[in-house]
Amino acid sequence: MATINEEAVTQAQASDPDVSLVEAVYARRSVRGYLDKEVPQGELERIFEIAQLAPSNCNVQPWKVYVASGALKERLREQMYSNTANRVPPNPDYEYRGDFEDEYRVRQVECAVALYSKMGIGRSDKEGRMRAVLRNFEFFDAPYIAFVGMNPKFGTTVAVDVGMWAQTLMLTLAAFGLHSCPMGTMRNYPDLVRDAFEIQDGTKILFGISFGYEDPAVPANETRTTRDPISANIVFRSS
- Residue-wise pLDDT for 178-225, tens only, equals 999 999 999 999 999 999 999 999 999 999 999 999 999 999 999 999
* E strand map for the chain: 64-68, 144-150, 179-183, 204-212
Structural domains in the chain, CATH included, are 26-94+137-220 (3.40.109.10)
Mean pLDDT of the chain: 93
Which pLDDT does position 139 carry in this prediction?
98
Phi/psi at 189 (nearest 5 deg)? -130, 65
Which pLDDT does position 14 carry in this prediction?
67
Which pLDDT does position 156 carry in this prediction?
85
- Residue-wise pLDDT for 7-29, tens only, equals 555 556 768 999 999 999 999 99
Phi/psi at 99 (nearest 5 deg)? -90, 90
* pLDDT average per 10 residues of sequence, the chain (239 residues): 56 81 97 97 97 97 98 98 97 87 92 92 90 96 98 92 98 98 97 98 97 97 95 96
Which pLDDT does position 187 carry in this prediction?
97
Which pLDDT does position 98 carry in this prediction?
74
Phi-psi region of 157 (alpha: psi -120 to 50; beta: other; left: phi over 0): alpha
As a whole number of angstroms, the distance between CA 232 and CA 5 comes to 43
Which pLDDT does position 121 carry in this prediction?
92
Which pLDDT does position 56 carry in this prediction?
96
Phi/psi at 49 (nearest 5 deg)? -65, -40
